[in-house]
Amino acid sequence: MNFSKKELTNEQCIALYKSILLPRMIEEKMLVLLRQGKISKWFSGIGQEAISVGVVAALQQDEWIMPLHRNLGVFTGRNMPLSKLFMQWQGNKEGYSKGRERSFHFGSKEHHICGMISHLGPQLAIADGVALAYKLRGEQKVALAFSGDGGTSEGDFHEALNTAAVWDLPVIFVIENNGYGLSTPVNEQYRCENLVDKAKGYGMEGIRIDGNNLLEVYDTIKGVREFCIKNQKPYLIECMTFRMRGHEEASGVKYVPAELFTQWEKRDPVKNYERWLIDEKILSLEELNNLKSTTKTYIETELAEAYKAEAIIANTEEEIADVYAQLTPQISGSIEQIAKEIYDNASPTFNHQLSTFNKFSDKKFINGISDGLLQSMQKHDNLILMGQDIAEYGGAFKVTEGFVEKFGKARVRNTPLCESAIVGSALGLSLEGYKAVMEMQFADFATVGFNQIINNLAKIHYRWGQNADVVIRMPTGGGVGAGPFHSQSNEAWFVHTPGLKVVYPSTPEDAKGLMIAAINDPNPVLFFEHKALYRSVTGQVPDDYYEIEIGKAKHVQQGDDISIITYGAGVHWALEYAEKNKNISIDILDLRTLLPLDYDAIKKATKRTGKVLLLHEDSLLGGIGGEIAAWIGENCFDILDAPVMRCASLDTPIPFNLVLEKNFMAYGRLGEMVEKLMNY
């Protein structure tokens, strides 16, 4: 192994040695602790330390890194307190994730490290978002994300690299090619000669280096960093290396030919660097041994401190409270009064009450959404809109028409067909204090970004306290003859996921106020917009900037006979039915928010009539109506005069033909269900 110090001083070479020695000795200690049962799991990076150490040494301390399982050197290189790291690995509350995450599945904003999830590919797109933030601010910085050789087979790898290339982002992608994805060798993982060859397909530069040579890694990263900043381009680096332990300790290494261990033992990154330091007379053997002794003492001291951590005690209130980031009030004055009137007096007369505070205009549902976005873009210069065709074209439904002329393409961004990468990029923007609104074009397409939404956005605050200031717009629903892949009602998929907020307005004024509230909320919000309402529903909308509180239902119509609890298009179905059947006194509650639910409003609606019909366009089985019905049964049984009933669409995919679609829809069975409930 040839080392070249180039312009490095002896002191810098020694500092690099200390940086690579520490994770190696920690690793060796962790293997002992694992055998002693003091930790439950460990993903060893022995043999790969030069990559992490070289990377973190070459970057600035405030540049974000997205590490994976075997990047201990990143955490120690960012000077994270070792005692707290030990507490993290032991599952103590005093660790970085309050005992909620394992080994390296955590991050720290203070140290600019973004915690991984078990699905490895999503880390790459987060780096895109961070790099975009740097680019927008004109900062001389790069973001860096790690991938293993196995991870390059994932769609997230393609999406992240493609997005970085198309947007000319200063991001470095580092592949740690250690020959195996768990037990699967690389010859069963890909067919290209070298993984770095993939860079050409994305129009980016790339290089393949010896990942066990600490100085080569450091020098390469340092040079590539300068390239990315100067040229505002991404770069791919393939680091050839080998892990001397199993994927995790429990998996063993029987699947690896013994000769490979012999071969790579000769290329040990720590031992080879030690020999070079001695040969170059940068360190004497005695000095080297003294450093090892000092490091061992430091590890034992920090471990002893970690052992002082108290046994964790579960606190249900704290667990629930940490699912969401806390909101900061965004509005004041007359607008705040307007919001209060909406919250406290949600009734058929609330428009009259609001009229005392500001001017109204008659607007369509789609304009309410557009106004909320427009005024938010004006208020927040750190708000970025992203989505397919949203710039010059104005979006598939023209919601953002004219925005690019007002705010420019830097803030109104057309995206490649990379839904997963764009959700990840939105999260990356959030790490750097930006707000992001992504248009999913059709709610149906959320399936290809599902992992990022469910496992990254939703869980990140609970896992390590990082907010995700992201809104995903979800044009949804049927009634327009668009068929099974453009008309689904999939809101129930996301209501089941703690950490998300799910909003579903039915009127133009609610669409605007809830959109503004969603953008101001530091938590990830899925904003469902019923396509059939875009241009068919009109209402009075305040011209001013205002919020409608997320999590608060609206009492739409007073009634005495039955209560219809619904949302979205269901509100208009209920109103239309009530208008045609005035012999029945129908009480109507518009949920507006599906997560979190307004249980107080649901209970009041139940109490007003004693008979409840839950109405939604989604299919019956697994729809949110079932959850609400169960809650009412458990909490309002004594005020019920009949079983809670549900009116929902068929348990089939939604069909294309308008006759079949009409038959599918819940609306066609509304009268039947009302009659059944009335006659109970």
User: What's the distance, CA 46 to chain centroid?
Assistant: 30
How many angstroms separate the CA atoms of 104 and 111, rounded? 14
User: Are β-strands 501-503 and 525-530 bridged in parallel, bridged antiparallel, or unpaired?
Assistant: parallel
List the structure tokens of 489: 């009602």
Torsion of CA 115, 121, 126, 127, to 10 degrees: 100
How many angstroms separate the CA atoms of 404 and 391, rounded? 5
User: Are β-strands 205-210 and 554-557 bridged in parallel, bridged antiparallel, or unpaired?
Assistant: unpaired
If you search the block for the tokens 């699947």, which residue do you land on? 255
CB contact set of 85 (below 8 Å; sequence gap of 6+): 75, 76, 95, 96
Closest CA to 217 of 63, 448, 54: 54
If you search the block for the tokens 């003492």, which residue do you land on? 297
Whether 143 and 127 have beta carbons less than 8 Å apart is answered as yes
Exposure of 344 by Cβ count < 10 A (0-12 exposed, 13-18 middle, 19+ buried)? Answer: exposed
In angstroms, what is the C-alpha Rg of the chain?
Answer: 28
Catalytic residue among 105, 486, 530, 616: 486
Collapsed DSSP state (helix, strand, coil) of residue 267: coil
| Helix-then-strand count for the chain, H and E | 26, 21
Collapsed DSSP state (helix, strand, coil) of residue 525: strand
Closest CA to 612 of 601, 620, 597: 601
Angle of CA points 146, 144, 19, to nearest 5°: 80
Whether 541 and 367 have beta carbons less than 8 Å apart is answered as yes
If you search the block for the tokens 């327009």, which residue do you land on? 480
Collapsed DSSP state (helix, strand, coil) of residue 598: coil
How many angstroms separate the CA atoms of 369 and 375, rounded? 10
List the structure tokens of 276: 């070079």
Q: Note if 486 is an active site residue.
A: yes
How many angstroms separate the CA atoms of 553 and 539, rounded? 18
Q: Which residues are catalytic?
A: 486
